[in-house]
Structure 1
Amino acid sequence: MRESLRQKIIQVCHKKIDQKGDNVGVSFYAFFANKNDDPELLMEAATWWIQTHQLDHFEKARKIIDMVEAGR
Protein backbone atom coordinates (compact mmCIF):
# COMPACT_ATOMS: atom_id res chain seq x y z
CA MET A 1 0.00 0.00 0.00
CA ARG A 2 1.40 3.39 -0.92
CA GLU A 3 2.59 5.65 1.88
CA SER A 4 0.09 8.43 1.13
CA LEU A 5 -2.80 5.99 1.63
CA ARG A 6 -1.28 4.67 4.86
CA GLN A 7 -1.01 8.21 6.21
CA LYS A 8 -4.58 9.04 5.15
CA ILE A 9 -5.93 5.91 6.86
CA ILE A 10 -4.11 6.69 10.10
CA GLN A 11 -5.22 10.34 10.01
CA VAL A 12 -8.89 9.49 9.38
CA CYS A 13 -8.93 6.77 12.05
CA HIS A 14 -7.43 9.12 14.65
CA LYS A 15 -9.99 11.77 13.75
CA LYS A 16 -12.87 9.28 14.12
CA ILE A 17 -11.50 8.13 17.49
CA ASP A 18 -11.20 11.75 18.66
CA GLN A 19 -14.79 12.44 17.59
CA LYS A 20 -16.53 9.26 18.74
CA GLY A 21 -14.26 7.43 21.13
CA ASP A 22 -11.85 4.51 21.05
CA ASN A 23 -14.56 1.99 20.16
CA VAL A 24 -15.56 3.64 16.85
CA GLY A 25 -15.76 1.51 13.72
CA VAL A 26 -14.74 2.53 10.21
CA SER A 27 -15.13 1.22 6.69
CA PHE A 28 -12.56 1.68 3.94
CA TYR A 29 -14.99 4.13 2.35
CA ALA A 30 -14.23 6.53 5.23
CA PHE A 31 -10.89 7.33 3.59
CA PHE A 32 -12.47 8.76 0.42
CA ALA A 33 -14.80 11.55 -0.66
CA ASN A 34 -18.33 10.65 -1.70
CA LYS A 35 -17.28 10.75 -5.33
CA ASN A 36 -15.03 8.32 -7.08
CA ASP A 37 -12.31 10.74 -8.13
CA ASP A 38 -9.41 8.27 -7.70
CA PRO A 39 -10.61 4.76 -8.61
CA GLU A 40 -7.09 3.30 -8.55
CA LEU A 41 -6.52 4.41 -4.95
CA LEU A 42 -10.00 3.22 -3.94
CA MET A 43 -9.27 -0.21 -5.42
CA GLU A 44 -5.94 -0.32 -3.61
CA ALA A 45 -7.70 0.29 -0.28
CA ALA A 46 -10.49 -2.16 -1.11
CA THR A 47 -8.00 -4.87 -2.08
CA TRP A 48 -6.04 -4.38 1.13
CA TRP A 49 -9.24 -4.38 3.24
CA ILE A 50 -11.30 -7.10 1.54
CA GLN A 51 -8.98 -9.39 -0.37
CA THR A 52 -5.73 -9.24 1.58
CA HIS A 53 -7.11 -9.12 5.13
CA GLN A 54 -10.72 -10.28 4.68
CA LEU A 55 -11.96 -7.63 7.08
CA ASP A 56 -15.62 -7.03 7.83
CA HIS A 57 -17.35 -4.00 6.37
CA PHE A 58 -16.84 -2.10 9.65
CA GLU A 59 -13.77 -2.62 11.82
CA LYS A 60 -12.54 -0.79 14.89
CA ALA A 61 -10.46 2.25 13.94
CA ARG A 62 -7.83 1.31 16.54
CA LYS A 63 -7.40 -2.15 14.91
CA ILE A 64 -6.91 -0.54 11.48
CA ILE A 65 -4.32 1.91 12.84
CA ASP A 66 -2.41 -0.97 14.46
CA MET A 67 -2.47 -3.00 11.23
CA VAL A 68 -1.32 -0.11 9.05
CA GLU A 69 1.43 0.93 11.47
CA ALA A 70 2.65 -2.68 11.64
CA GLY A 71 2.94 -2.70 7.87
CA ARG A 72 0.41 -5.46 7.36
Structure 2
Amino acid sequence: MRMELRSKIIDVCDKKIATKGDDVGVSFYAFFANKNDNPELLMEAATWWIQTHQLDHFVKAYIIKDMVKAGL
Protein backbone atom coordinates (compact mmCIF):
# COMPACT_ATOMS: atom_id res chain seq x y z
CA MET A 1 0.00 0.00 0.00
CA ARG A 2 1.42 3.38 -0.97
CA MET A 3 2.33 5.88 1.74
CA GLU A 4 -0.31 8.37 0.56
CA LEU A 5 -3.07 5.87 1.32
CA ARG A 6 -1.52 4.74 4.62
CA SER A 7 -1.33 8.35 5.83
CA LYS A 8 -4.90 9.04 4.74
CA ILE A 9 -6.25 5.96 6.52
CA ILE A 10 -4.44 6.78 9.78
CA ASP A 11 -5.59 10.41 9.64
CA VAL A 12 -9.24 9.49 9.01
CA CYS A 13 -9.20 6.84 11.75
CA ASP A 14 -7.67 9.30 14.21
CA LYS A 15 -10.37 11.88 13.43
CA LYS A 16 -13.21 9.33 13.69
CA ILE A 17 -11.90 8.00 17.01
CA ALA A 18 -11.45 11.55 18.37
CA THR A 19 -15.03 12.55 17.49
CA LYS A 20 -16.95 9.30 18.03
CA GLY A 21 -14.83 7.27 20.44
CA ASP A 22 -12.93 3.99 20.35
CA ASP A 23 -15.99 2.00 19.32
CA VAL A 24 -16.44 3.73 15.94
CA GLY A 25 -16.41 1.53 12.87
CA VAL A 26 -15.24 2.44 9.37
CA SER A 27 -15.42 0.97 5.90
CA PHE A 28 -12.86 1.59 3.16
CA TYR A 29 -15.23 4.16 1.68
CA ALA A 30 -14.56 6.39 4.72
CA PHE A 31 -11.21 7.32 3.21
CA PHE A 32 -12.66 8.86 0.04
CA ALA A 33 -14.99 11.67 -1.01
CA ASN A 34 -18.40 10.80 -2.37
CA LYS A 35 -17.13 11.26 -5.90
CA ASN A 36 -14.74 8.88 -7.57
CA ASP A 37 -11.88 11.32 -8.18
CA ASN A 38 -9.07 8.79 -7.63
CA PRO A 39 -10.21 5.35 -8.83
CA GLU A 40 -6.73 3.79 -8.58
CA LEU A 41 -6.39 4.70 -4.91
CA LEU A 42 -9.94 3.54 -4.20
CA MET A 43 -9.24 0.18 -5.83
CA GLU A 44 -6.00 -0.14 -3.86
CA ALA A 45 -7.92 0.40 -0.61
CA ALA A 46 -10.69 -1.99 -1.69
CA THR A 47 -8.19 -4.69 -2.66
CA TRP A 48 -6.34 -4.35 0.66
CA TRP A 49 -9.63 -4.43 2.61
CA ILE A 50 -11.57 -7.11 0.71
CA GLN A 51 -9.11 -9.41 -1.04
CA THR A 52 -5.99 -9.19 1.07
CA HIS A 53 -7.53 -9.17 4.55
CA GLN A 54 -11.13 -10.31 3.90
CA LEU A 55 -12.47 -7.75 6.37
CA ASP A 56 -16.15 -7.19 7.12
CA HIS A 57 -17.80 -4.10 5.67
CA PHE A 58 -17.37 -2.17 8.94
CA VAL A 59 -14.35 -2.65 11.20
CA LYS A 60 -13.36 -0.72 14.32
CA ALA A 61 -11.21 2.27 13.31
CA TYR A 62 -8.54 1.47 15.89
CA ILE A 63 -8.09 -2.02 14.38
CA ILE A 64 -7.63 -0.62 10.87
CA LYS A 65 -5.23 2.02 12.17
CA ASP A 66 -3.17 -0.63 14.00
CA MET A 67 -3.09 -2.86 10.90
CA VAL A 68 -1.89 -0.03 8.69
CA LYS A 69 0.74 1.10 11.21
CA ALA A 70 1.99 -2.50 11.44
CA GLY A 71 2.42 -2.58 7.67
CA LEU A 72 -0.15 -5.29 7.07
Q: Report the TM-score, using the length of structure 1 for normalisation.
A: 0.99
* Residue 9 in structure 1 maps to residue 9 in structure 2: yes
Q: Which amino acid aligns with 1:42?
A: L
Identity of counterpart residues, as a percentage?
79
Matched residues, number: 72
Dislocated runs of 4+, deviation >3 Å: none
Q: Structure 2: state its 5+ residue gaps.
A: none
Structure 2 equivalent of residue 53 of structure 1: 53
Q: Any unmatched runs of 5+ in structure 1?
A: none
Q: In angstroms, what is the RMSD of aligned CA positions?
A: 0.3
Other-structure match for 1:24 = 24
1:71 aligns with 2:50: no
Cα deviation, residue 38, structure 1: 0.5
Give the Å deviation of 1:71.
0.2
Aligned match of 1:33 = 33
